[in-house]
Amino acid sequence: MMKITLPDGSIREYAKGSTPMDIAKSISEGFARNVISAKFNDTVVETVTPLNEDGSLVLYTWKDKEGKKAFWHSSSHIVAQALEELYPGIKLTIGPAIDNGFYYDVDFGEHTLSEKDFSLIEKKALEIARGKHDFKMRPISKAEALSLYKSQGNEFKVELIENLEDGTITFCDHDTFTDLCRGGHIPNTGIVKAIKILNVAGAYWRGDEKKPQLTRVYGISFPKQKELTEYLALIEEAKKRDHRKLGKELELFAFSTKVGQGLPLWLPKGAALRERLENFLKKAQKKAGYEMVITPHIGQKELYVTSGHYEKYGADSFQPIHTPKEDEEFLLKPMNCPHHCEIYNVRPFSYRELPKRYAEFGTVYRYEQSGELHGLTRVRGFTQDDAHIFCTPDQLDQEFKNVIDLSLYVLGSLGFDNFTAQVSVRDLDTPEKYIGSVENWEKAENAIINAAKEKGLDYVIEKGEAAFYGPKLDFMVKDALGRQWQLGTIQVDYNLPERFDLTYKGSDNELHRPVMIHRAPFGSMERFIALLLEHTGGNFPLWLIPEQAIVLPVSEKHEKYAEKVLKSLENDEIRALVDARNETVGKKIREAEMNKIPFMLIVGENEEASNTISVRRHGGEDLGSISLEQFSDLVTTEINSTLKSF
């Protein structure tokens, strides 16, 4: 017999050789019908894998992230079989699951693939799926695996196998199809009831521009047709909310090939929007005891060698800037932290002066590959709402909790109420990815977990997601379309204070090392605004939107009164403008709706005579004729309902 520990902590005994599916059936036949994947002792296994030792077992359904991963990876096998049958002679490479669906990279050779072929591929894939073919894993020797793919002329699979150890290689079979695979499949193809090919794109083999270009076939699949229909409707809504589309329509930002890829230009309305976000956070930071600092956009290479950023980012960053002085090199800064360490180092501190909280809206630069650039969410130059807190170890717990409070205030003020806190820790199997002592890492990880518990956060622990210098707490926010994004981060760092030899004089008159907290509630201004655009569909909170109202005179003779209304609004600090063009009021209203201006104030003969305005809300609601004072109160009340004091 073997002892199996289940996620609820219960321990059950089973005969050796029992499979995850056997165990699922022992729990409940109904539950077992929904189980599609499993993990045993942190290793993904098939539901039919015999278990022969004591261990921890997690059973996954479609509702679980790991269940979806197995479902989509299995679907990539089905689509790969369909492609092989439809396009003989193609060469398959890899087909992983991704956040939403899967892809398969394929060398199509002489064949071509376009959108008109998608329905044919879907039809063939569903035909295969309906066969209810079991996914079966089998070990194979390196020699046999190489022989198979060499005979097929598939140099991509040969390259993969050559880098594997004999005795670790497995194939997955279903129906007439065989593929090199490590595992992680659903029981059979019949569970897949709906498949959609989403698009195709070019992709270099192993992401290397010097290697052959392949065709990446993206797809998604579901256990019910209804779920696919709902997903496609969501995709259409997402297209309408695409921040690149809205940013152009609302004249917030632009890109120029002459300026360079991934380097956004902020237009007047976008710059004003950014400024309001900055001022909002600066006001809260001031109350929380932060001091603003400013650092250069560049630094000597040695600065980033000391911090460790050159080792981690150097190869993927902008290349060094060489000055007229021999052997002098500067870098565009990839992070603000090293500069803030040097600010702390300007003079000695006593424990009585800590914590020191330095904040900066600092622009940093990273050379993202051109194929990875995407609007404002992936750029080469971005501004972080960065702050670094230098505190004593005794102050760490309270300071971390204070930063959590500030982060929650920021998210709540901007309508991001649906979130999970993710505690990102080391992967103990890859210690080479991290700097610093094990002891310091353990202290930092425990500090974050304890703070998350005490603040009552709904949190999960993710192994291997920590920064190279320390663990972190990330806020994983769900937007209006149910998509999850990482917004805001807090990190505990014992390592940079050591690397920069930061000290303070303690009560014992000895020098001690401060602890460093890295903190960015927005993350990057560019990415935050992109996600805020898509979350709100461009209908920003009233306190933030560039233009809160537009005054629409009915005719030329009412323009003077329109200007009087505008002046009154400006006196009440309401952002407004007058549309005095020689156009119909109907056309002006339609354009104001497209520009997502919250209030349209129509003024004509009746309004001028009664010193009022006719108010129409964005979306069509008619608020009738009211006084300017009433309108000002309405705006103030609405702003105060969303923008609380910190």
SS (H, E, C) 433-465: HCCCCHHHHHHHHHHHHHHHHHCCCCEEEEECC
pLDDT for the residue numbered 309: 84
DSSP 309-368: HHHHHGGGSPPPEEPSSTT-EEEE-S-SHHHHHHHHTTS--BGGG--EEEEEEEEEE---
Residue 437 has pLDDT above 90, yes or no: no
CA distance 238 to 236: 5
Which of these is catalytic: 69, 472, 596, 616?
Answer: 472
Kindly report, residue by residue over 612-645, the tens digit of the pLDDT. 999 999 998 999 999 999 999 999 999 998 888 8
Give mean pLDDT, residues 299-311. Answer: 90
Which band of pLDDT confidence, cut at 50, 70 and 90, is reported for residue 244?
A: very high
β-sheet bridge partners, residue 45:
38
pLDDT for the residue numbered 20: 96
End-to-end CA separation in angstroms for the chain? 59
Which of these is catalytic: 124, 174, 243, 337?
Answer: 337
CA distance 359 to 356: 10
Share of residues in the chain with pLDDT > 70 (%): 100
Kindly report, residue by residue over 27-83, the tens digit of the pLDDT. 999 999 999 999 999 899 999 999 999 999 999 999 999 999 999 999 999 999 999
Which band of pLDDT confidence, cut at 50, 70 and 90, is reported for residue 415?
A: confident
Give mean pLDDT, residues 515-535. Answer: 94
Which of these is catalytic: 105, 107, 179, 386?
Answer: 386
Which of these is catalytic: 81, 285, 384, 422?
Answer: 384
Residue 315 has pLDDT above 80, yes or no: no
Kindly report, residue by residue over 9-38, the tens digit of the pLDDT. 999 999 999 999 999 999 999 999 999 999
> Minimal CA–CA distance to 495: which of 511, 513, 519, 510?
513
Q: Is the entire prediction scored with pTM above 0.85?
A: no
Share of residues in the chain with pLDDT > 90 (%): 82
Q: In what order do the strands lie in the sheet with 35-40?
A: 11-14, 2-5, 55-61, 35-40, 43-45
Which band of pLDDT confidence, cut at 50, 70 and 90, is reported for residue 230?
A: very high
SS3 494: coil
pLDDT for the residue numbered 303: 94
Kindly report, residue by residue over 539-565, the tens digit of the pLDDT. 999 999 989 999 999 999 999 999 999
Q: Is 384 a catalytic residue?
A: yes
Residue 190 has pLDDT above 80, yes or no: yes
DSSP-assigned letter for residue 100: T
Greater pLDDT, 369 or 251: 251
Kindly report, residue by residue over 143-156, the tens digit of the pLDDT. 999 999 999 999 99
Q: Is 185 a catalytic residue?
A: no
Residue 479 has pLDDT above 90, yes or no: no
Which of these is catalytic: 69, 196, 340, 388?
Answer: 388
Q: Is 388 a catalytic residue?
A: yes
DSSP-assigned letter for residue 510: S
Give mean pLDDT, residues 435-461. Answer: 88
> Minimal CA–CA distance to 67: which of 115, 105, 24, 107?
24
pLDDT for the residue numbered 505: 97
Q: Is 337 a catalytic residue?
A: yes
Kindly report, residue by residue over 253-266, the tens digit of the pLDDT. 999 999 999 999 99
Q: What average pLDDT does the structure give for the chain?
A: 93
Which of these is catalytic: 133, 366, 558, 616?
Answer: 366
Give me the long-range contacts of 308-314 (CB less than 8 A, separation at least 24). Answer: 308/435, 308/468, 308/469, 308/495, 308/496, 308/499, 309/334, 309/335, 309/337, 309/338, 312/468, 313/366
CA distance 373 to 384: 18
Q: Is 518 a catalytic residue?
A: yes
Which band of pLDDT confidence, cut at 50, 70 and 90, is reported for residue 488?
A: confident
Token output for 242: 């695409």
Task: Give kind and range of the element (H or E) at residue 143.
Answer: helix 142-151
